[in-house]
Structure 1
Amino acid sequence: MNWLDISSSAFIAAFFLYCFAFLFYVIAVAGRKWSNRKPEEHVRKWSRVGFVFSTIGLAAHLVFFFTRWAGAGHIPTSNMYEFMTFLGMSIMIAFTIIYLIYRSPLLGMFALPLTIVIVAYAAVFPQKVQPLVPALQSNWLKVHVTTAALGEAFFAVGFAAGLMYLLRVIDFKGTDKAARRAQRWIEFTLYVIIVIVGFIGAVFLFRGMDYQASFTQTTISYDKTGAESITEDKVEYTLPPIVKPYNSETTSIEPFLGMKSPLFEAPSWMNGANAGRKLNTVIWSVIAGTLLYGLLRLVFRKPLGAVIHPTLEGIDPEDLDEISYRSIAIGFPVFTLGALIFAMIWAEQAWGRFWGWDPKEVWALITWLYYSAYLHLRLSRGWQGHRSSWLAVIGFIVVMFTLIGVNLIIAGLHSYAGVDG
């Protein structure tokens, strides 16, 4: 039995089931105004359908996880593709738990797109099974990564509920200074999300076009004695090179929209053979996301927050605030165990020290301190509503930087997690 073929099919099935579940949750929430049924009956019917599809999608995702585990011979959380798919699965587990407690279809309308984006982002990375590097050959891989991801998944649900709260209570018709400031910040948050979607779309578009460009980068380094060494690295692009690697020569390039050569070179302070490629990816993400955002604004002719706001009318904002807080309160001790305690035990076994100021360790600590402050301000200072929701939204941005930015941009002992990217 080819476990990896089954795993691949289950992954695709889970993705489309999540998409259908999202649509059913949208119908449950947004369609109640136009339904011939009573609003309560309409919401109940389509929420049930959405939950069935999301649950079947989660089941398919679990099949993907365990069959890939069987095919690979180790838990599939060792690179960016595997970790991000596991994070998406964890978000669905967290969503299912919170949904069964609060029975809010609105949560599905926001949590499912988050899962879909993360799963689609995972598909950007190479999916080939690779043997574990020595640092990952430990049973602590299972407990550290899984509990850390599950804690972050509850933070993601808290983010979704916090974002819904803000979209529900912000006055999009207000013209005073406070209202305009809130409108701008919520619109910027939506823009950032669309930039991520734009990045995924750009990668798949150019991958479908089989676009390729390559460069040879020359790096000069000196050892402790002052001896000079010169190395040459081949850097391959799958997006048209707006920026080329520092101190590199073009090996091959396919023209795109009349662009036959890179527009400029990456700055010298960006170290690493892939630094230029990563900067190029960031630029394309902003371009694609901005174009997509502009298209949506052109279609709706109003800010996106103002488009979403009417669908949330009739929803009790206090319920959303409570869901956001409870999700984070559940996720915090789980994250503490996985990202700090289990991580330090593993670090001591692998590297002979509990703490080493590695970038990933530092940002895991920053994340933990941030959510510690969130809970302190919530419980001791009474920060609820607007303040609490903004903290939940910003907190998950910190989480995503810890997961993506640190893995793919900052070099460190955890860099193996992003080598496939």
Structure 2
Amino acid sequence: MNTESLSGTFLLIAFILYTLSFIVFGIAVTGKKWSSRDPERHLKRWGRGGLVLTIVGFASQLGYFFTRWYAAGHIPVSNMFEFLTFLSMMIALAFVIVYAIYRVAVLGMFAMPVCVIILAYALVFPPDIQPLIPALQSYWLKIHVTTAAFSEAFFAVGFAAGLMYLLRVVNFKGTSKADRRERRGVEVVIFVVFTVVAFVVTSFVFKGIGYEAKFKQEITKIDQNGKENVTTSTVDYVLPPIVKPYNSTVETMKPFLGMEEPLFTSPSWMNGINAGRKLNTFLWSLIAGLILYGLVRLILRKQVGAAIQPAMNGMDPEDLDEISYRAIAIGFPLFTLGALIFAMIWAHEAWGRFWGWDPKEVWALITWLYYTAYLHFRLSRGWQGRKSAWMAVIGFVVVMFTNVGVNLIIAGLHSYAGV
């Protein structure tokens, strides 16, 4: 077995162990009710089991990280696959650190799924080892990306604890306008999580069956002399094309459920060769998320949040609020160093300027300002409880858009990370 294959094996083992740890933490929390002898002992015993699985999974992923580093010849954080796998590893580490402080087993039931989902999402991207482009051939790659990812891992734990707080305190039986609004907000967050899970599963299914479609697209550009230049490019789809690229023709397309050609054409104002494919991916994510969420609602016959809430009984909301705040308080200075200060120093070395209003830079600044506002409102305005929890939940959505959405959707100097 070569080093690259060995790293893949380590990663698969880590994925399995993280999934098992989530299941064990779930048994620790839900099984406490039917453990008639000593519920607290049951919770501690299974909680320790979940922690051990998490630590062993982290060790396995660490093995993946260093073997891939050896095989690639550079630190494996240079594209979406590598960055997201590293982020998932840092989330596992951040969870272990927070768990060691607070010893709250129920946190594993929410933090570990975040770790598993991000790792599964990473596997959607091509795992091939790629050479570093010149802009990334710097020791600042190690410092900037690893510090930023470690900080965002604590934001992920803060998100998990914030969501737990909301599930604990929201009144799912209330009839007031405020209660209904909070219930809808929680369900929207859960639906977004379901959408990501459904997209990952859908992508694996179509990859497994070898589905593919290709479109030939003609792009017309007018140069400075007014002359038209027509270039032809090929766009590859791995999901059945509901939407085809604008001004394109089908080159190859496997029929799917009787659909032998795309249903729609992407709008002309959607610029970029991959605009149609991105719109198609968004539609598939939405459809798969609606199906998964609908099936779960049909099985539960109630809102998903209402079904999860009983697992929160016995948890002190103030403890959950404190965990969320402390995790974000740890992550914020690390994010300031890694995503702003170290990034600006590297930008000056690479491009001769500290700041250039690149989309990734702008969204990193937005993320920093958001969490600055979170800490300001928390410390000076007394925003605790619900307000703090909602900010923690929304903040991690901003983080993930900065990491994933900007790289994949908005063209800029950091677009190479979306490869």
Q: What secondary structure, in the 3-state scheme, does the structure 1 residue paired with 2:221 have?
A: strand
> How far did residue 269 of structure 1 move?
1.6
TM-score by length of 2: 0.99
Q: What secondary structure, in the 3-state scheme, does the structure 2 residue paired with 1:272 have?
A: coil
Computed over aligned residues only, the root mean square deviation of the Cα atoms, in angstroms, reads 0.7
d(CA) in 2 for partners of 1:155, 1:270: 33
2:202 — aligned with what? 202
1:390 — aligned with what? 390
C-alpha distance after superposition, 1:75-125 (max 9, x if no partner): 000000000000000101111100000001111000000000000000000
2:219 — aligned with what? 219
d(CA) in 2 for partners of 1:223, 1:323: 57
d(CA) in 2 for partners of 1:37, 1:341: 54
d(CA) in 2 for partners of 1:236, 1:117: 25
d(CA) in 2 for partners of 1:392, 1:417: 26
Identity among equivalent positions (%) equals: 64
- The count of residues paired between Structure 1 and Structure 2 equals 419
2:281 — aligned with what? 281
Where in structure 2 are the equivalents of 1:212-361 lying within 5 Å? 212-361=212-361
2:186 — aligned with what? 186
Q: What secondary structure, in the 3-state scheme, does the structure 2 residue paired with 1:74 have?
A: coil
d(CA) in 2 for partners of 1:387, 1:224: 54
> How far did residue 36 of structure 1 move?
3.1
2:125 — aligned with what? 125
C-alpha distance after superposition, 1:367-419 (max 9, x if no partner): 00000000000000000000000000000000011111100000000000002
Where in structure 2 are the equivalents of 1:107-146 lying within 5 Å? 107-146=107-146
Unpaired runs of 5+ residues, structure 2, are none
TM-score by length of 1: 0.99
> How far did residue 267 of structure 1 move?
1.0
d(CA) in 2 for partners of 1:35, 1:181: 36
2:68 — aligned with what? 68
Q: What secondary structure, in the 3-state scheme, does the structure 2 residue paired with 1:356 have?
A: coil
C-alpha distance after superposition, 1:31-52 (max 9, x if no partner): 1000133111010110011101
2:5 — aligned with what? 5
Unpaired runs of 5+ residues, structure 1, are none
2:29 — aligned with what? 29
d(CA) in 2 for partners of 1:234, 1:5: 31
d(CA) in 2 for partners of 1:70, 1:270: 41
Q: Letter of the 1:321 partner, please give it.
A: D
d(CA) in 2 for partners of 1:127, 1:272: 24
d(CA) in 1 for partners of 2:81, 2:187: 29
d(CA) in 1 for partners of 2:268, 2:373: 38
Moved over 6 A (4+): none
> How far did residue 265 of structure 1 move?
0.7
Q: Letter of the 1:384 partner, please give it.
A: Q
Distance 1:310 1:224, change over 3 A: same
C-alpha distance after superposition, 1:201-251 (max 9, x if no partner): 110011111001000010001222222211111001010000001110000
Q: Letter of the 1:30 partner, please give it.
A: T
d(CA) in 1 for partners of 2:412, 2:305: 38
